[in-house]
Structure formats: structure tokens, C-alpha cells
């Protein structure tokens, strides 16, 4: 797997397909390997695009340090901007984000809008009014990992209900793809983060597709609807079933042709 050093971290990435570059940014504590088992973007790679999936700093096969502010969404956006300039020089790329990856893309696109042709923003995280409760949850998780280890966190999350949009799965197992000693810093970095203010997000002029699923407090539909309201000309699709989530790859490929 290729490795590109970005702002002191070794970022691992892989690519499939050929054509214009589309970068995939995964969710917090996940990785490109974990994400590919849940969300299938193959239709993008088979429709004339070079699909690049990468492990964010401290995740998967990428390295990372112990400073929480390195994992703030705005800092991860700086990683992404430099990665794009290194592996797709001179190119205007599209981005697919999931949760933390979505937030990373939003910050990156606001800072370097000329780098992006399209944004596909999936599983929008808690933001603004819904963020405070999530922040407290992350801080408690970080403390739990430090005191009792990662297995204690996994066990504590097993009892959480499965969102109705994932009905049909026997379970949604939390399987973090991060090193245990980095997990508290990653969680605290998320606790330091929120989406930009509404007036700033409204400045985005890039074509945007918003993808949401229902009944997930960590990725509320309210966040997706608010983004759709703020970003002029954006499109939104809200999945209520596994079949609809499974169609996201096709939706993404079709959107990239617009």
C-alpha cells in the first residue's frame, strides 16, 4: 500500500479504477478497510474514476501522535488538503466523506474550494445544537479507555440500539481500527470539534450530495437537513433501509456525472 507523509504523519492509502480522482474519507475510529465492509462505493471506481481510499491520521495503517488537537476536524482537513496536492497534483478532485470524513471534507472544501469538483457528504455527524451531548459522550469514552481499556468501551457500546435503517443486521458491532493508546486522543479531538458556523457553510459553491440514514442519534437527520438548507443547490437522499443505503454507491456515481 502506498504511504505519503503528510504533516508528520505517514498516511496509508490505496486506489482502484482509473480516471478523475475521488477520495474516500472514513468515519472516526474506522479505516478504509472497516468502511469498505459497510459502505460500497465500487460503482464510483467502475464508472471512470480513480477511487482513492485513505486511513486518516491515527487510524488503520496510518501513524498518529497523542495530541488531541491533531484529530480535530479542522486539523484533519489540513491533512486532506496536503494529501490531495501530493497524490493528485494539479487535479480538481471529488470527495466522499462519512461522519468524521464528511466533516473533514467540509473544512477542506471551505479552505481550498478550487481543489474540489464535487462533495458527497454521508452520515452527517452531530453539529451545533446536537453537538454538546455527543461531546460529553466522547469525553466519557476517552476516560473509560484510559482507565479500563478498549474492550471495556466495546462492551459498553454493545447495548446501544441498532438504528431502524439497519434493520436486518443481527448486530452493528463497534470494532475500532485504531491503536488503543491513540484512541483517547482521537475521541478528545472529536470532542473539540464541531461543523463550521452556518453562515460559513453557506459559502460552499461546489455541487454537493448529502446522504443520511434514519434513527441514529450520532448522525441525526436534522444535521443532514440543515446542511441541505444551507448549501444552495445541494441534493439530499435519506435512507430508511439497508437496501437504500446499499444504493449509495450508484447514487454517488450518478451524481459525479452531473
Asked if 217 and 190 count as a contact pair (C-beta separation under 8 A), the reply is no
Nearest to 42 by CA among 208, 257, 253, 258: 253
Chain segment 46-63, per-residue pLDDT in tens = 999 999 999 999 999 999
**Which DSSP category does 15 fall into?**
E
193 CB neighbour count, 10 Å cutoff: 26
The boundaries of the domain holding residue 188 are 3-256
Asked if 96 and 120 count as a contact pair (C-beta separation under 8 A), the reply is yes
Q: Check whether 172 has a pLDDT greater than 70.
A: no
Provide the 3-class DSSP secondary structure of residue 119.
strand
Please tell me the distance from the alpha carbon of residue 152 to that of residue 243, in angstroms, as a whole number: 32
Q: How confident is the model at residue 68 (pLDDT cuts 50, 70, 90)?
A: very high
Chain segment 174-190, per-residue pLDDT in tens = 789 999 999 999 999 99
**Which DSSP category does 232 fall into?**
T
Total structural domains in the chain?
1
Crossing angle for the helix pair 150-157 and 131-148, to the nearest 10 degrees: 130
In b/e form, how buried is each residue of 215-253, taking b as 16+ CB within 10 angstroms? Answer: ebebbbbebbebbbebbeebebbebeeeebbebbbebbb
List the CATH number of the domain containing 22: 3.40.50.1820
Radius of gyration of the chain (CA): 17
Mean pLDDT of the chain: 95
Q: How far apart are the first and last CA of the chain?
A: 31
* Strands across the sheet containing 208-213: 3-6, 9-16, 49-54, 20-25, 93-98, 116-122, 208-213, 235-239
Greater confidence (101 vs 172) lies with 101
Q: Check whether 171 has a pLDDT greater than 60.
A: no
Q: Check whether 170 has a pLDDT greater than 90.
A: no
Amino acid at each position: 500500500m502506498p504511504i505519503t507523509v503528510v504533516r508528520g504523519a505517514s498516511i496509508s492509502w490505496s486506489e482502484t479504477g482509473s480516471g478523475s480522482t475521488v477520495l474516500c474519507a472514513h468515519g472516526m475510529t474506522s479505516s478504509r478497510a472497516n468502511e469498505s465492509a459497510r459502505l460500497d462505493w465500487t460503482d464510483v471506481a467502475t464508472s471512470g474514476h480513480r477511487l482513492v481510499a485513505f486511513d486518516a491520521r491515527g487510524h488503520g495503517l496510518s501513524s498518529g501522535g497523542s495530541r488531541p488537537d491533531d484529530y480535530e476536524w479542522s486539523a484533519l482537513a489540513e491533512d486532506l488538503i496536503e494529501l490531495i496536492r501530493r497524490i493528485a497534483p494539479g487535479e480538481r478532485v471529488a470527495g466522499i466523506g462519512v461522519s468524521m470524513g464528511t466533516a473533514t471534507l467540509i473544512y477542506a472544501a471551505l479552505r481550498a474550494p478550487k481543489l474540489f469538483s464535487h462533495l458527497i457528504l454521508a452520515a452527517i455527524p452531530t453539529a451545533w445544537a446536537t453537538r454538546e451531548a455527543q461531546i460529553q459522550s466522547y469525553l466519557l469514552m476517552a476516560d473509560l479507555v484510559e482507565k479500563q481499556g478498549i474492550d471495556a468501551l466495546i462492551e459498553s457500546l454493545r447495548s446501544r440500539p441498532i438504528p431502524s435503517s439497519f434493520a436486518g443486521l443481527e448486530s452493528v458491532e463497534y470494532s475500532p481500527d485504531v491503536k488503543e493508546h491513540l484512541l483517547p486522543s482521537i475521541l478528545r479531538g472529536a470532542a473539540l470539534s464541531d461543523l463550521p458556523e452556518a453562515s460559513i457553510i453557506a459559502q460552499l459553491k461546489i455541487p454537493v450530495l448529502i446522504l443520511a440514514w434514519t434513527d441514529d442519534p450520532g448522525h441525526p437527520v436534522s444535521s443532514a437537513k440543515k446542511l441541505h438548507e444551507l448549501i444552495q443547490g445541494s441534493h439530499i437522499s435519506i435512507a430508511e433501509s439497508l437496501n437504500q443505503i446499499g444504493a449509495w454507491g450508484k447514487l454517488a456515481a450518478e451524481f459525479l456525472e452531473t
